[in-house]
Amino acid sequence: MFTTTGSRGLYKAPLSKGLLLVLSGLTVMLTLLPRYQELFIYNLHAITQQHQVWRMVCGRLICLDLKDTFCSSLLIYNFRIFERRFGTRKFASFLLGTWFLSALMDVLLAQAFHFLFDYEVEELPAGLLSPVFSLFVPFYLTIPRMPVTQILGHIPITSKSLVYIVGLQLLTSSPFMWLIALSGLISGGLYHCNVFKLQRLLFMPAWLSRIGRYMLEPLFSGPQPSGETPLGMGATLDIQRQQRMELLDQQLLLAQYNEARRHARHQPQAGLLDWARLFPSLRHRGQNRPPPPPQPPLLDNSPVAEEQVARLVEMGFSRIDALEALRASNNDINMATNFLLQH
């Protein structure tokens, strides 16, 4: 159900690919070499009392739990849409800004928890978790919610539901993960809303972005998908068109399934007489009505429903293609959509 980002893999998302490969690889290495895991423990007590500031960096980059690594990798893979839409530098600036803000928020929230409940939080889950949770803020505010289906006829399932489920799974993976999530959400909201001009204070420098472009991007840039030219419609329009096409495929399959069920329900059972055909209803007796003539297909200049044309245009097709498809399919929106997707 990760349909909000299209199906083009990690194309135009080198930073997301680098984070997935490097951080996941380091987690596996630390799992195989457990004697080095102590260096990457996110120990707030050591940071605040013993002034081991280096633990703030090491403890907030690499996950020590494989389950946390898996869930955060799924979320980073899904959130790669922001790197495609806004560019690698702006995406890196968001992660960098929320990383610094969430580091401050972790300490403040831990001190507030100690003041309210008289319980000192010594360790927090390690890894790049707070910036991942902060990405839920632009995901909730900017990504449209498209309905996919319903459970029990009342619970809606959208194209964003599985992302929230993975985030909930990550939230419940450890006792103090809620503090990391709250810190990330607050940091993401502050940076996204540009409170106190944070986007001008915390950003990726241009010189560092150029170094990454020339040295790291060739290593982590994804292959260009087949059939796509560099001079395309632009990242945003292409992503939105891909979203509509994938959602439409699911809706067409669901509509075909429902139609097949209705057809099977109304079809007479085998081995029984068709009594409705042998004994028509009383109001039709004595009437010698010829069968209605078949309706001729619509001509090229036949009118089509403007509402159906508007629906196809909203899905990303041109108005001319929508008119031709509706005329060819006798104003059948499902057939017209299927025709446009296949041609």
pLDDT band at residue 236 using 50, 70 and 90 as cut-offs: low
| pLDDT band at 283; cut points 50, 70, 90 | very low
Q: Are residues 91 and 170 in the same domain?
A: yes
Residue 202 lies in a domain: yes
pLDDT of residue 175: 92
Structure tokens at 160: 């964003």
Asked if 320 and 172 sit in the same domain, the reply is: no
State how beta strands 147-151 and 123-124 pair.
Answer: unpaired
Structural domain of 310: 275-342
Confidence at 63, pLDDT banded by 50, 70, 90: very high
Domain boundary, last residue among 204, 222, 240: 222
Structure tokens at 247: 């959602």
Say whether 41 sits in a helix, a strand or coil: coil
pLDDT band (50, 70, 90) for residue 216: confident
Same structural domain for residues 284 and 149? no
Q: Which one of 192, 222, 252 terminates a domain?
A: 222
Residue 147 has phi, psi (to 5 degrees) of: -65, 140
Choose between 241 and 151: higher pLDDT: 151
pLDDT at 215 > cutoff 50: yes
Same domain, 163 and 47: yes
Residue type for 330, please?
N
For residue 230, pLDDT beyond 50:
no
Q: How confident is the model at residue 117 (pLDDT cuts 50, 70, 90)?
A: very high
For residues 295 and 26, the model is more confident at: 26
Average pLDDT, the chain: 80
Is the full-model pTM beyond 0.75? no
Weakest-pLDDT range from 31-40, 102-111, 252-261: 252-261
Q: Indicate whether 198 and 322 sit together in one domain.
A: no
Residue 257 located in a structural domain:
no
Higher pLDDT, 248 or 109: 109
pLDDT in the model for residue 119: 93
Looking at the structure, do residues 92 and 170 belong to the same domain, yes or no?
A: yes
- Which of 165, 161, 168, 241 lies closest to 1, judged by CA? 161
Percent of the chain with pLDDT over 90: 50
- 92 and 158 both lie in a single domain: yes
Q: In the predicted model, what is the mean pLDDT of residues 190-212?
A: 93
Q: Is residue 237 part of a domain?
A: no
Domain membership of residue 94 (yes or no) is yes
For 113, phi and psi rounded to 5 degrees?
-65, -40
Residue from 276, 267, 297, 109 nearest 185 by CA: 109
Q: Are residues 188 and 332 in the same domain?
A: no
Same domain, 171 and 281: no
Q: Is residue 91 part of a domain?
A: yes
Secondary structure of residue 298 in the 3-state scheme = coil
User: Quick one: 34 and 126 in the same domain?
Assistant: yes
In a domain, 234, yes or no: no
Residue 1, in any domain of the structure: no
Three-state DSSP class for residue 96: helix
For the segment 296-313, what is each residue's pLDDT rounded down to a tens digit? Answer: 444 445 567 788 888 888
Using the 3D structure, point to which of 222, 237, 266 is the last residue of a domain. 222
* Higher pLDDT, residue 226 or 140: 140
pLDDT at 338 over 80: no
- At residue 272 the predicted structure's pLDDT band, cuts being 50, 70 and 90, is very low
Residue 135 above 70 pLDDT?
yes
- Asked whether the beta carbons of 44 and 108 are under 8 A apart, the reply is no
Residue 82 lies in a domain: yes
pLDDT-derived band at 270 (thresholds 50, 70, 90) equals: very low
pLDDT digits (tens, 9 = 90+) for 137-163: 999 998 888 777 888 777 888 889 999
Whether residue 115 has pLDDT greater than 90: yes
Name which of 92-106, 196-210, 317-331 the model is least confident about. Answer: 317-331
| Number of domains the chain is built from | 2
67 pLDDT exceeds 70? yes
- Whether 302 and 188 map to the same domain: the answer is no
Look at residues 85, 157, 84, 98 and name the one whose alpha carbon lies nearest to residue 133: 98
